[in-house]
Amino acid sequence: MTGNILFATAVFLTGILNSQTCTNINFEAGNLSGWTITSGTTQILQSNQTMTTCCSTPGSPEALVMTTPFVEPYAGYLPHSPLGGTKVVRLNDSDATTINLGLITRISYPIAVTASTNFQYAISAYVTGLTHPCDDYAYANVRIKNGSGSVVYVNQFMDYSVSTPCGNSAAFTNTIVSRNLAYFCWQTYSVNLTPYIGQNITLEVTAGDCTGWGHAGYCYFDATCTATTPTILPCSISAGIESKSLTNEINIAPNPFSESFNISISDINNAVFEIVLYDVTGKLILNKKNLQNSNNFSLQSLNSGIYFYKIIKDNRPIKTGKLIKE
């Protein structure tokens, strides 16, 4: 009998150890270690409410760990997460205008629930296209699945204001009508995982664009498994990114590049320009301030792949995009 008990205990513990005890669930390692990144594309006649087209493709160009506080194109300065720390993840379109419209980005994290697990998450979400039907709407979504894959918790963020609300539309506290956009700054949620003590569960965080590929949905996210008293700091409202006429004065070429690329700025006018470059895990690759009219960057030793850049003017981001190293 004792042998059977020990065997059963070993099997139980092996199942728990196959999951994680929330290591890097808060991204403080500065990367997405421990998380699984997948993606898909939204499609007409497919429901964004049920996320039927997500997510079978490994990886995503739009899952990026960021250091807070930073300038958010619509909310102004996004402060630290209410859960503490200085790292959060951004999922999906980085500026809600032209980058990867039609994309769905998901990150998943396995959690071994113990008696000491106190799960909380913080989210800030942004959606454009405020007149879509529910099935077509851009969204952010947080859900939890039990060990058998059944959804036991879901919070769907959509701001549908035409008739009957769909999803958690009440979360969206700010609307910029001129930009057809609704958003909310940090909000926190707690989920009681007591019924799943001793079990493995999966946390999924998803952000997706509208099914017509014309409107974006993206979010910032943070989480913890430790009892935490959230400290919510307000976002500072911003007029947003510079107009396209200003961003068009900045040219990055060649893209893709093999050894080096050049940034040309047509008119500096005593402004301070800066470039920040990250890889797909959120690792900082390049940060150069005080750009001139012409700037050459040699990155021969950089691994081939996709990188993400941000051009900053006087502490405000005015242009973002992908840079490909061949």
Q: Which domains are present in the chain?
A: 9-224 (no CATH), 244-325 (2.60.40.3080)
pLDDT top residue among 107 and 97: 107
pTM attached to this predicted model: 0.67
Please state, in angstroms and rounded to a whole number, the distance separating the CA atoms of residues 128 and 126. Answer: 7
Are 240 and 179 spatial neighbours (Cβ–Cβ below 8 Å)?
Answer: yes
Segment 86-102 mean pLDDT: 74
Segment 242-256 mean pLDDT: 66
Q: Per-residue pLDDT for 83 more than 90? A: yes
Location of structure tokens 């506080």: 69
Single-letter residue type at 310: K
Please state, in angstroms and rounded to a whole number, the distance separating the CA atoms of residues 107 and 109. Answer: 7
Segments in 191-270 forming alpha helices (H):
244-247
Confidence of residue 292 (pLDDT cuts 50, 70, 90): confident
Confidence of residue 318 (pLDDT cuts 50, 70, 90): low
CA dihedral (232, 179, 60, 288) in degrees, to 10, reads: -80
Q: Who's near 135: CB < 8 A, 6+ residues apart?
A: 46, 47, 48, 49, 211
Least confident stretch, 188-197, 254-263, 278-287: 278-287
Location of structure tokens 């893709």: 256
Segment 159-176 mean pLDDT: 67
64: nearest Cα among 101, 35, 97, 22: 35
Q: What is the mean pLDDT of the chain?
A: 80
Please state, in angstroms and rounded to a whole number, the distance separating the CA atoms of residues 32 and 26. Answer: 9
Burial (CB count <10 Å: 0-12, 13-18, 19+), residue 51: buried
Confidence of residue 272 (pLDDT cuts 50, 70, 90): confident
Q: Who's near 4: CB < 8 A, 6+ residues apart?
A: none
Cα→Cα distances 64→38, 45, 94, 196, 222, Å: 13, 29, 9, 30, 12
